[in-house]
Amino acid sequence: MTHSQADQRLSPALFSYLQAHHPIVVVTVGADGGPATDMVSWVLAVDDHTVRLVVGSQRPAVTNIRANGMAALQVLGRGLAYEIKGAARIIKERCESFRFPQMMIEMRVESVRENMYPANFITGDVPVGWPESTDTHHNAWNAAIAEEMRRERSATCSLG
């Protein structure tokens, strides 16, 4: 795929990257018609045309997806620079694996576009960390949420 072309599904490399804990920028459209961004790290590609996100219920992405069902993801990682656009919906009002209010969103991939300048590339992943004192909690939460995203059946949830 060249810089200007778009595909309708995730490449194997992008799918693989979205199996691990990486920060992703979620872009939605606000009530004023302008863009709104949220940084999330609980992202999972379920298959080559479906991506799930877990987002705090108070985040603009939740309000905006409820209102218009549109989202885009900006993925930046070692050798990857992609924009993923699609229709999004809330499939779970509250995730059980986290004690704070988190919602699960499912996005149907409609467009995948490489968006790095030709002959340039990203040399590493965006690092994510937390205080060492909370390492045990964060690792447990990350594993629990990843498992919940894998097992969720979107047919059982409504748009909210």
Q: What are phi and psi of 149, to 5 degrees?
A: -65, -35
SS3 46: strand
SS3 117: coil
H/E run at residue 79:
none
Model pLDDT, residue 5: 60
CATH class of 6-156: mainly beta
Residue type, 99: R
Q: How many CA atoms lie within 13 A of 105 on its CB side?
A: 31
Model pLDDT, residue 3: 46
Model pLDDT, residue 84: 98
Model pLDDT, residue 146: 83
**pTM score, whole prediction:** 0.85
Model pLDDT, residue 39: 94
Pick from 144, 21, 160: nearest CA to 91: 160
CA angle 123, 129, 131 (to 5 degrees): 155
Pick from 73, 43, 75, 36: nearest CA to 58: 36
* Neighbouring residues of 42: CB distance < 8 A, sequence distance ≥ 6: 21, 53, 54, 55, 102, 142, 145, 146, 149
Specify whether the CB–CB gap between 49 and 18 falls below 8 A: no
CA 17 to chain centroid, in Å, comes to 11
What ranges in the chain are assigned the alpha helix state H? 12-17, 60-68, 135-151
DSSP 134: G
Domain ranges of the chain: 6-156
Tens of pLDDT, residue by residue over 50-77, are: 999 999 999 999 999 999 999 999 999 9
> Which residues in the chain show pLDDT less than 70?
1-5, 153-160
